[in-house]
Amino acid sequence: MHRDHIDPHPGPAALGGDARRPDGARRALRIGLGGPVGSGKTATVAALCRVLRDEVSLAVVTNDIYTREDAEYLLREAVLPPERITAVETGACPHTAIRDDISANLEAVEDLEDSVGPLDLVLVESGGDNLTATFSKGLVDAQIFVIDVAGGDDIPRKGGPGVTTADLLVVNKTDLAPYVGSDLGRMAVDAKAQRADLPVVFQSLREDEGVAAVAGWVRQRLAAWAV
Amino acid sequence: MSRAALLVLADGRFPAGGHAHSGGAEAAVHAGRITGAESLESFCRGRLHTAGLVGAALAASAALGVDPVALDAAADARTPSPALRAAARRLGRQLLRAVRAAWPGDELDALGRRFPKGAHQPVVLGAAARAAGLGAEDAAHCAVYESVGGPATATVRLLSLDPFDATAVLARLAPEADRVAEAAVRAARRVVREGTGALPAASAPLLEIHAEAHAGRAGRLFAS
């Protein structure tokens, strides 16, 4: 996943996946969070910020469909100081901004590193999208795909690039499973079939464990990135 | 010139941030000025002869090697709305990133160093055309086409307009777009001899006013 290479044209702004800032310092690890509308991406980002903000220097970029909703939620919840949260506008196409044309997101990340850096970690949250939405490797180093049990327990079986290829699959809102008739065991089996050895986390942010498993996975990524 | 390089630069999928901008179409839809294909065509015709002409002349001048700092200042002077100036610089920065990856070179690096937060997009577009081995005519055509292509695509999303109708609007405007591009190149050749005062200054007051209102509106789909 690390993509160290020498930029053949050292210039004013880093391009895409360069692992180093223009001044030669290693840039922050970037982790993308994608998934369908309402699956709990923003709540997961907020929980991660609360757990990790005292351990590492972090910032968040949100990609809303209707502009600043998610950023404003994070600001209201005061999970980070406002200068560490940036919203990117996506022109009705959230998947374009994280995959096909990542320039606005790259600039948001770089501006955060310039203004509040050095940063260890930047979380890039996609606007709610469909099961095919994935992040470009030019934008993030690893991606988390968040689905929830209330969206239907057949989603892992349906697969799609998000479910199949994300570095971590999070099945959220497990506390709702009995009320919506979702079979967690079946979801686990289907996810395993789609993802082979890639990890899956079942979480409920309403229970004590909360975001701990995902935070642990992020810590592993941070440790690997620092090498 | 390389005709294929021109297609790369003019491609709507060129990853330079344009997809998040409507060229004023969202504000015009909101104001009830674009309601279908016919009014989209009128709106685009207005853009062609104002923002399109000015942008194309800036791009053609930059492609001819006119100092980008002077052109950027001239673009500022021709863009009364602070929101539009900010959008133009943001898009210029995004375009420069994509172009530096596509056609790396010293002139583009220098432009990035001089404008770390972005020069006006048409100025970068002209520099991009130069780096791609294209000429002033190519840069002008790119700018002119972008000035109407963006709003047409955005209107398809905003009004659920039939995409065939929107494309037909662009096709009908093509001969007029050619003439605007030619006028822009003539102006750019004068800029080389006489300075940026020879740039056209055709403005569209409603585009500027609507852009300011749009920037302050919550719940918009497009950044500008």
Of B15, B95, B218, the CB nearest to A67: B218
Residue B16 lies in a domain: no
Q: Name the amino acid, one letter, at A52.
A: L
Whether this model's ipTM surpasses 0.90 comes out as: no
Residue B99 lies in a domain: yes
HSE (side-chain half, CA atoms, 13 Å) at A192: 7
Distance between CA atoms of residues B197 and B189, nearest Å: 12
Query: Which residues lie closer than 8 Å to B112 by C-beta, 6 or more apart?
Result: A11, A12, A13, B96, B100
Is the CB of residue A162 less than 8 Å from the CB of residue A134? yes
Distance between CA atoms of residues B199 and B125, nearest Å: 16
Q: Which domains, and CATH codes, for chain A?
A: 29-226 (3.40.50.300)
Asked whether the CA dihedral B187, B129, B111, B22 is positive or negative, the reply is: positive
Residue B184 lies in a domain: yes
- The CA dihedral of B194, B197, B202, B208, to the nearest 10 degrees, is 150
Is the CB of residue A175 less than 8 Å from the CB of residue A208? no
Of B13, B112, B219, the CB nearest to A100: B13
Which residue of chain A has the CA closest to B95? A103
Query: Which residues lie closer than 8 Å to A93 by C-beta, 6 or more apart?
Result: B19, B20, B157
Radius of gyration of chain A (CA): 17
Residue B223 lies in a domain: no
Interface check A115 vs B, CB under 8 A: no
Residue B14 lies in a domain: no
> With an 8 Å Cβ cutoff, are A66 and B220 in contact?
yes
Is the CB of residue B10 less than 8 Å from the CB of residue A97? no
Which residue of chain A has the CA closest to B217? A67
Residue B222 lies in a domain: no
CATH number, domain containing residue B102: 1.10.4190.10
Residues of A in contact with B95 (CB under 8 A): 103
Interface check A89 vs B, CB under 8 A: yes
**Segments of chain B assigned E as strands:** none
Domain containing residue B85: 3-9+22-215
> With an 8 Å Cβ cutoff, are A15 and B101 in contact?
yes
State pTM to two decimals. 0.88
For chains A and B, what is the number of CB pairs under 8 angstroms?
A: 85
> With an 8 Å Cβ cutoff, are A103 and B15 in contact?
yes
Of A12, A88, A104, the CB nearest to B113: A12
Residue B17 lies in a domain: no
Count of domains forming chain B: 1
Tens place of pLDDT per residue across chain B (224 aa): 689 999 999 998 999 999 999 999 999 999 999 999 999 999 999 999 999 999 999 999 999 999 999 999 999 999 999 999 999 999 999 999 999 999 999 999 999 999 999 999 999 999 999 999 999 999 999 999 999 999 999 999 999 999 999 999 999 999 999 999 999 999 999 999 999 999 999 999 999 999 999 999 888 889 99
